[in-house]
Chains A and B, each alone.
Chain A
Amino acid sequence: MLHVLTLAFIFFTAHANQIKPRLVQIPGGELKPFWIAPTDITGEQEKIRIPPFHAMNLPVTNSEYVDFVRANPKWRKSKIKRIFADPSYLEQFASDLRLKKEIHPRAPVTYVSWFAARAYCESHGLRLPSLAEWEYLGAASETKADASEDPDYLARLIEWYNKPPGSGPVPPVGRGKPNYYGLYDLHGLIWEWIEDFNSSLISGESRTNGSIERELVCAAGSLAGGNKENYPAFMRFAFRSSLKGTSTIRNLGFRCVKGERNE
């Protein structure tokens, strides 16, 4: 009896402790952009200044997206214009306002295009993070603001990136540990859209050194670049470079941010 009560209690608290979505204040700082090679003879890497901004602590969920399409019919599954999303848009929805039965309402919304993700953020007076902002957030481990050169942290990320997600439904948000800033699920659950996803990598070829793709030289890890051992960052870049604005993918979602853009 006692055990049953304990279990019930644990279940109840776990439920009650469900992480509430909120905007978290992110202090400004500097980002060492690994995708830009050192520009001067000293090898000193150019840094990007990140002004303070706010970021959602969780990725946008299916149920939040249902509310969005209820209020904005043109983004519904049946109404979406093909130029804004691929045919698999909202694949996890049974109809315009209903999820398929195996889909968790608190799972991150996926199968959303860049256009749709942008529209969602705009409808809340927010925007998608820039490449620099996302990488600034994503560099944080649970304990450090910048863990991009911490081998243990990188090894953990590689383990996740390496594993295919399998064919089951995407798990709900907020189940892991928050990072240094108090944000959940930047890694380990889904990929996330950024505003300028197609600005750094133009082709998918990772070893080119054509003039247009100079920054790719680094992505190939071939010449002077940033941290060549940050494989997770290379994978994110490769992933983004495979996208089009209309792409809708099973494990690609988004979160929004608020603040002046820096670039």
Chain B
Amino acid sequence: MLRPSSVGDFKTKAILAISLLITGCPKSDKIIGEEVAKLTAPPEVPPPITRKHNTKVIVHLEVLEKRMKIADGVDYTFWTFGGTVPGSFIRIKEGDLVEFHLSNHPTSKMPHNIDLHAVTGPGGGASASMTAPGRETIFSFKALNHGLFVYHCAAAPIGMHVGNGMYGLILVEPKEGLPKVDREHYVMQGDFYTKGKYGEQGYQPFSMEKAIEEKPTYVLFNGSVGALNGDKALPAKVGETVRLYVGNGGPNLTSSFHLIGEIFEKVYVEGGTSVNRNLATTTVPAGGAAIVEFKIDVPGTYIMVDHAILRAFNKGALGMIKAEGPEDKIIYSGLISERVYLPEGGALPKTPEAEVRIAKSLEERIRMGQTIYEQNCTACHQADGRGVPHAFPPLANSDFLNADKTRAIGIVKGGLSGPIVVNGESYNGVMPALSLTDEEVANVLTYVYSAWGNSKQTVTPEEAAKVKPSGVVGIGQ
């Protein structure tokens, strides 16, 4: 007894068999049967297409306007394709006929449309898909060219629709398919413009001024700070070849996409046919894409960044791949030793004695401490002491910090590496030792304790002098 789906399969096979009999191979542009595309939310990618023939692919994509987290404690109204930023990943095959259904949820305020860069024809679908709230539009196109393409909303004012997250990727596989790899992930960059500055708490509306001036508040992978960090880091194993489908929605910035500690053995440049090899950084233009592939040789955490590096440090453009597996000390030794360096000729060149300033009051200690903080600490712990989720722990309102002053002094003097838990979140990073005088250690810690809801403890240079540099792995676990 055949089930209905098997009947369909059987029919398809029969047709295939017949066409094989006639032509010797499946006719390249013949559309056989139909199927509904399975879309995936980032960072997932639909499985490779195994069918050898072309088919009619029915795509259902729903527009949802929804409030979501853009950073810890910060909400933003995103306009989305499929409820996520970036939107659902679409995977089809060169020569397929796509019947595209764009629906706009009845609770939307705006009309939306879609321009798929994989479409050949005016507007790329946009002129056929303007969709009011509570309606659906349908159009179809034939995938003439293979490649990795961006899709986005093109309704006026387009900068706001794209700026609110209305973009995603559509992969048109070549007829012969893509070479097999062990893992595939979906990563897409976008720049965001909020009224408040980076990390400013609460609901943040879109800022037209910042968007027009192209001064983003956030530059993000997959729509929020920390979307690919910590528990959400992309997994991999040593020995595996990983393929990333990288997109850039913009609206404004071009990405200098880089994975720290890896070399892309293969880059399908800008998502097209041309393959470049052995790149460390590749350009992904706004409204463009790239396919990158690399083999993981040693375990550890690989950080992906936009190598326009202030975007990574200060605006959130940071994600992670966590690779597990055996070490290979030949490929990468890690730290072998660390010791005193004495240049030839012995004594240091004499420099004029800098005037050592000693804080004369608590206020002065805090003020001087703030300067030291701004010079040494803000890059990781941020100017507001809130740190970066899953990467750098917060100093603001920090249970770890307030629990133990002596430990804090030791860490400032000697650095820290290994797992710790701060305010219920775990961190596993490295803080370098800072070469500060005891006076400076006292000042910076007194400042940190005085700020952001901390315990207002003071640290004196004498106390700082007594504590040995820490740097113990796994402290506080």
Given contacts A206-B156, A220-B158, A231-B160, contact A251 B109 (CB under 8 A): yes
CB 8 Å contact bits of B145-182 with A (1 = contact, 0 = none): 00000000011111110001000000000000000000
Interface range for A: 35 or more
CB 8 Å contact bits of A131-165 with B (1 = contact, 0 = none): 00000000000000000000100110011011111
A88 contact from B113, B129, B134, B156, Cβ within 8 A: B134
Given contacts A164-B108, A167-B107, A221-B157, contact A208 B122 (CB under 8 A): yes
Chain A residues, Cβ within 8 Å of B113: 204-205
| Residue B130 at the chain A interface, CB threshold 8 Å | yes
| Residue A95 at the chain B interface, CB threshold 8 Å | no
| Residue A219 at the chain B interface, CB threshold 8 Å | yes
Chain B residues, Cβ within 8 Å of A163: 67, 77, 109, 205
| Residue A203 at the chain B interface, CB threshold 8 Å | yes
User: Do B164 and A162 touch (CB < 8 A)?
Assistant: yes
- Of B206-214, B264-272, B458-466, which binds chain A? B206-214
Chain A residues 241-258 with CB under 8 Å of chain B are 241-243, 247, 249-251
B133 contact from A162, A221, A249, Cβ within 8 A: A249
Among residues of B, the one whose C-beta sits closest to the C-beta of A210 is B122
User: Do B134 and A206 touch (CB < 8 A)?
Assistant: no
Chain A residues 82-104 with CB under 8 Å of chain B are 88
| Residue B132 at the chain A interface, CB threshold 8 Å | yes
B53 shortest CB reach to chain A, Å:
33
Among residues of B, the one whose C-beta sits closest to the C-beta of A111 is B134
| Residue A10 at the chain B interface, CB threshold 8 Å | no
| Residue A237 at the chain B interface, CB threshold 8 Å | yes
Interface residue SS majority, chain A: loop
Chain A residues, Cβ within 8 Å of B439: none
CB 8 Å contact bits of A208-224 with B (1 = contact, 0 = none): 10100000000111000
| Residue B233 at the chain A interface, CB threshold 8 Å | no
User: Do A250 and B206 touch (CB < 8 A)?
Assistant: no
User: Do A229 and B212 touch (CB < 8 A)?
Assistant: yes
Chain A residues, Cβ within 8 Å of B67: 163-164
| Residue B123 at the chain A interface, CB threshold 8 Å | yes
Chain B residues 191-221 with CB under 8 Å of chain A are 195, 205-209, 212
User: Do A162 and B77 touch (CB < 8 A)?
Assistant: yes
| Residue B110 at the chain A interface, CB threshold 8 Å | yes
User: Do B77 and A242 touch (CB < 8 A)?
Assistant: no
| Residue B440 at the chain A interface, CB threshold 8 Å | no
B298 shortest CB reach to chain A, Å:
46
Q: How far is the CA of A243 from the CA of B130 in the complex (A)?
A: 9
Q: How far is the CA of A154 from the CA of B209 in the complex (A)?
A: 10
User: Do B157 and A231 touch (CB < 8 A)?
Assistant: yes
User: Do A166 and B132 touch (CB < 8 A)?
Assistant: no
Q: List 21 A-B contacts (CB under 8 A).
A: A88-B106, A88-B134, A154-B208, A158-B205, A162-B164, A163-B77, A164-B67, A165-B109, A203-B127, A204-B111, A204-B113, A205-B126, A221-B156, A235-B157, A238-B157, A239-B111, A241-B111, A242-B130, A242-B135, A250-B134, A251-B133
Binding site for A on B (CB under 8 A): 65-67, 77, 106-111, 113, 115, 122-123, 126-127, 129-135, 154-160, 164, 195, 205-209, 212
What 4 A-B pairs come out closest when comparing CB atoms? A204-B130, A242-B111, A164-B65, A206-B156
